[in-house]
Structure 1
């Protein structure tokens, strides 16, 4: 073809605006848009100020994938009438699986070598799910348990988006093929040839987008983990990209000025949402409309050859875009593992180093793994060979994690077996005093406290984790009282309260255990007392919902915690109606400013006085349990890494206990007419708060006691309850 012929052909394909019609070829501006997306994600995970909404980079990737894949499938259907599935999946396998498997294997090895064994085993299980591209559903299931927020993040957590995309790649061609069949079937019946019409596919994508977006709105409010991680709630973002692909000719006909405004406006919207959203924003929900719309505008304007395309096509951005996939894979595990590798705490400098190291690894992965496999002539010619390669690397990644699981066994203490701590309840006995009963009750409290203090002191300096530790470290995370799973402890969106009466349910003596998860963790102790003393025990709890009348925001829900406020009112009404003999009140003291108040602040102290007075007005005696020490680590994971030095997981008392806050709470409780129990001596010596007492593990995570230790302390709680119930 001559130059003149080429120019003539080109002129025939120009539109009235003087631009070339949309071409199915490479889009440099989209490569640059990938750079924007990965920079947003990396800066967010590196905790760079101004990138609090950087997680929207994943939404940008989803829209890009929807645009590219839908365009590819539509062009194939339009030209051949079908989708060659082996060829399609082979291309995806070459593009995605070798790099993800490579990073997955290295990450699994890093977890086994650098993480505490208990945490490493959890990460390796995540790695297996991620290699099979169902990790997003594993994370959604874990996320439904509010306690999962207290565990360290998974090294494979970022693989959730790969799971969504792989599931999209599996289902999207089937939808296209189904739509094609329906169009042909309808055409044979009506005589209308719509085989090359985009309208049926637009309708199909529109329905998918509408249904998915509606589900995302519902789940964002009712089940945020599923809204965030699942394909059904994210499909609308991919469909949005597909709708742009199918309407590319219409985008191409935009006037130059309109296209420029759309493109620059879209890029601005992406940058603004990255800067203005944060971790407390309910997501995806309506907030995800902003980055999705921005990406649609950028890609659509690019179809018209206008907008921000020239900036996005700059060589620097395109270079970042080329490594975006590998950088996404590497940045998260490097951010988590590098501090442990170099022995430095997580700080801005270590995060900067991690960003640079992960970028370097991404470049190596691009040139040594991605490109050689993706463009290998033998693989490109053979769909079977490409699919076999994908299956092989996936199998390898799963196999490596399984082998590492076997090499990193569940941690078991190998110290000497230690006797279980025992505290014997001392029956009150009359003592020569003006008030014999009062003195006897005080004596019972002192005697049980003394026994607990003796057990704590004997364990404070013991180094080796005992071989008969109970519960075993591997079982500790699941060591939750039944009330956490039987509905007695209400979840985030649940209001009202079921009966939840145990012990002697026909007894006229009702004891109510009320509060958040830190009240519910004492249920095993009070359950044992209720059985012994024939109490009717009611456990009334709601997660992260202290009973005090404090306006509360839920960081988990990203909005005012209206369910908590409603539950409080319902519980107070119930207590007024039931007139329990004793209300045992407890709550976490780890509430920070993101909840709208802070533990021990003036509002907290004032509200505690009001609450105790309100509870006393029901006719009940009130016992407020003070806080447990803050271990400042996830104790089972910490101990799994220090089987010969349990003291490494036992914080100093001055660090673990807020003595001034406890004193303020005690005074506030007394002003309201209640009884306050400072529990510090049940956990700490003057210097240290051991993580193990006798053979009993004290904490099941980073802020709740185990069932077993709660039961050990049952006699102490019983003595405190007796004294409070007496009204003296």
Structure 2
């Protein structure tokens, strides 16, 4: 059989697509993990894409590049536009105001087929369902797929044209050479993409997951299967292996999602497991050679329906349920995720996904009974909407027949058709409306919030940290400030000024606009000769508003030496555990600068951090921090060592979000309903830096009492929002910390009291200073996940037992609202932290 000849239609492959979408939906709804369904989709997409497009490019009467693109968009875009528009409107109705701009921006990224780039730019790894994940997170795969298709179309057309042009008349290169060249090019590109995906998996898995270059090999492999193997006759001797091959293939596909973390592994080498399974399933449906009946075999190969030849898994895949799922798979994929997210948001009172014993999904968030009921309802509604979309939008708007070859995107007949013009016009208008909604909303919000930023808060109505430090009265019925709508208006001035090193930067940023301006990055008393360096990452940076107050009072100039996701003296990995070489390079340069240009009044930096890189407590002082402070002390440079903030963790490895929790009305008067976190989970009983840094030239600073009381660290203190996310101060609360920070830095009585506390801590530690005994540094780089060595089941249960109790009460009918336990603070997972304020470190 010629590899370029038209193929008989494979209904069993359609059924495989149906199996894939079933896995995607079930895993998203009830398991909360990545199945291998999307990877099977990409493989199957390649089967149906490359062979036909190569044949089309080599045909003198084939469609032009413009027509191919139009045909592709007519197949994909109408359903996408319908789903995105409907769900965006639903999101704007259901969501609170702080989520509107992000929702509209996500919708625009989906329609522009750049959702994968959009998620990657925001640092959002693929996350399980929860209140805070994007409605359009799943569109990343369609974006990457279309990017690959468009780039491949251009390459195929250009290469085919070049080969035809170089062909010599009478001898030499013939038309078949174009086929050979294109097939060889596909082999090379697929292999190169696989090698790149394996490399990037160990370097930056977050980007690897979304990258079209990394994903190409899955589609390319499907293309090679479609060209070389699909419909190739199998030798009669292997016919008996078709049934076991199909079964093994299905097992590999399903088991992948059960035993592998796809978000952490794909499209790396382990992706070969489900794709091998899909290949086995496809080969199991290939025809078997029969030498005794060549004519009948030839006729059978040309028939579009060869279901009678299928056995085992292949025969199951051509049954009605799988064929139905295959037909509606595209629309079902579009609908199920936003419906699932909206349902989770509506029925849950816990922001962010809650994991119980390694399980995520709607049952983990809503509880078993309610979760199953809502999950089933989501699936049924998704199926109904998918059928309606497929029947009344997808099918009617597809290209019914191939048009005559032309470089115009539409034929004259289409331009004269009023219904066609109306459909295109409506699509253009609706698309423009959706794409412009985000920028318009953001502009209006910025204008409103900028006016509010200029307002002075009445200290009687907004005592902030004085409510805890001085028992200042806190009036009720006062709106929380700063306004909860936008995180961007809660950032320290270094963000707007471009006075910090971004993740990709390795140089120290000392002037505005990331060193592109001549204006120096200085704060406080900018004309003073006394200088303090504010050094480290975002957890040093968010003290700048407070330090600015102190510095103006003490006549000190503040110079920021900052890099997101980095600290002095300790090269850190990225939040997801990937290597972060830019941090190590910046750290070396920052230290060199500090020692070459010592500040007059020292370095202000954090001297504790959570136990794990994700933020799980209690806090500790790593050996590298001690070594850094010792190096400063040996160089005659004083250290202002501030204890890190208590991180708002909802579950191990999953950060909360106090701002969204408060904005969505989840703030209550009951236990654990303060949108905050448990002090004992986040912080050690005694500041670990007191013992670890004893004997060094350091002033210990601990502001925990400003934000925590009675074992809780709430999201709102004195009518002022403490955190803009899960662990970074709002600029307003930070500024209000100024007087207490100045007291601990310069008041002799406060310094003496802290010194006494340090002496007591050292004595309680057996008179031993430094990091020793129970204060040995723990793993701050990565917390073991379920199934990995070092994972403690009870640790997860300790976080979620209160939540389990609350949901159990709901399921038994004894509670109507979720009384979230002290250990389940509301917030968003690390995947949802905005990169506008850097890494959560």
TM-score, normalized by the shorter chain, greater than 0.5: yes
**How far apart, in 2, do the equivalents of 1:128 and 1:713 lie?**
39
SS in 2 for 1:623: strand
User: Alignment partner for residue 105 of structure 2, among 115, 125, 131?
Assistant: 125
Structure 2 Cα separation of the partners of residues 416 and 532 of structure 1: 22
2:684 is the counterpart of 1:661:
yes
Q: What is the TM-score with the length of structure 2 in the denominator? A: 0.66
CA distance in 2, matches of 1:568, 1:400: 43
Match of 1:368 in 2: 388
Residues 34-113 of structure 1: matches in 2 within 5 Å? Answer: 34-46=17-29, 48=31, 52-54=33-35, 56-77=36-57, 81-83=61-63, 88-89=68-69, 91-113=71-93
Structure 1 position 621, deviation (Å)? 3.8
Give the RMSD, CA atoms, in angstroms.
5.1
Cα deviation per residue 1:94-117 (whole Å; 9 max; x = unaligned)? 543333233223311221121111
Instruction: Confirm or deny that 1:651 pairs with 2:674.
Output: yes
- For residues 527 and 488 of structure 2, what CA distance do their matches in structure 1 show? 34
Counterpart in 2 of 1:521?
Answer: 542
> Matched residues in 1 for 2:402 and 2:232: separation?
36
Distance 1:379 1:220 in 2: 39
> Which of residues 732, 744, 758 in structure 2 aligns to 1:720?
744
Counterpart of 1:347 in structure 2 is 366
- Post-superposition Cα deviations, 1:270-321, rounded to whole Å, max 9, x if no partner, equal 4454334326725534454554455455445644569963454455444433
- Quick check: 1:22–1:248 contact (8 Å CA) kept in 2? no
Tell me whether 510-519 or 103-112 shows the greater mean CA deviation.
510-519
CA distance in 2, matches of 1:401, 1:644: 33
Indicate yes or no: 2:424 matched with 1:420.
no
| 8 Å CA contact 1:510, 1:582 repeated in 2 | yes
Match of 1:707 among 713, 726, 731: 731
Given that residues 164 and 230 in structure 1 are in contact (C-alpha distance below 8 angstroms), is that contact kept between their aligned partners in structure 2? yes
Any gaps of 5 or more consecutive residues in structure 1? 1-12, 424-448
CA distance in 2, matches of 1:159, 1:451: 43
Instruction: Tell me how far 1:155 sits from its aligned partner.
Output: 0.6
Task: Give yes or no for the alignment of 1:511 onto 2:532.
Answer: yes
Pairing partner for 1:180 from 143, 157, 160: 160
Question: 2:367, 2:319 → 1: CA distance?
Answer: 29
Is residue 97–residue 393 contact of structure 1 (8 Å, CA) maintained in 2? Answer: no
Say which SS state the counterpart of residue 733 (structure 2) adopts: helix
SS at structure 1 position matched to 2:686 = helix
TM-score by length of 1: 0.74
Q: Compared with structure 1, are the counterparts of its residues 450 and 664 closer, same or farther at alpha carbon in structure 2 (3 Å cutoff)? A: same
d(CA) in 1 for partners of 2:256, 2:695: 47
Structure 2 distance, partners of 1:90, 1:675, is 67
Q: Report the Cα distance in structure 1 between the residues aligned to 2:420 and 2:468, rounded to whole angstroms.
A: 65
Q: CA deviation at 1:374?
A: 4.3
Structure 1 stretch 310-319 or stretch 606-615: which is displaced more?
606-615
Cα distance, 1:118 vs structure 2: 1.5
Question: Residues 63 and 460 from structure 1, CA distance in 2 versus in 1: closer, same or farther, beyond 3 angstroms?
Answer: farther
1:359 aligned residue: 379
Q: SS of 1:71's equivalent?
A: helix
Any residues of structure 2 matched to 1:6-405 within 5 Å, and which? 24-46=7-29, 48=31, 52-54=33-35, 56-77=36-57, 81-83=61-63, 88-89=68-69, 91-143=71-123, 152-188=132-168, 191-192=171-172, 194-196=174-176, 198-210=179-191, 212-213=193-194, 216=197, 224=205, 226-248=207-229, 252=233, 257=238, 260=242, 267=250, 269-278=252-261, 281=264, 283-292=266-275, 294-296=277-279, 298-299=281-282, 302-303=285-286, 309-310=314-315, 312-313=317-318, 315-342=320-347, 346-349=365-368, 350-376=370-396, 380=400, 389=423, 392-393=426-427, 395-396=429-430, 399=433
Does structure 2 retain, via aligned residues, the 8 Å contact 1:420–1:695?
no
- 1:395 to 1:483, Cα distance in 2 relative to 1, 3 A: closer
Q: How has the CA–CA distance of structure 1 residues 46 and 578 changed in structure 2, closer, same or farther, with 3 Å as cutoff?
A: farther
CA distance in 2, matches of 1:484, 1:254: 68
Structure 2 CA distance, aligned partners of 1:450 and 1:309? Answer: 66
Aligned residue pairs, count: 673
Counterpart CA distance in 2 for 1:84 and 1:246 is 21
Q: 2:479 aligns with which of 465, 477, 490?
A: 465
Decide which structure has greater helix share.
1
* 5+ residue gaps, structure 2: 289-309, 351-364, 404-409, 512-520, 650-655, 756-841
Contact 2:74 2:397 in 1 (8 A): no
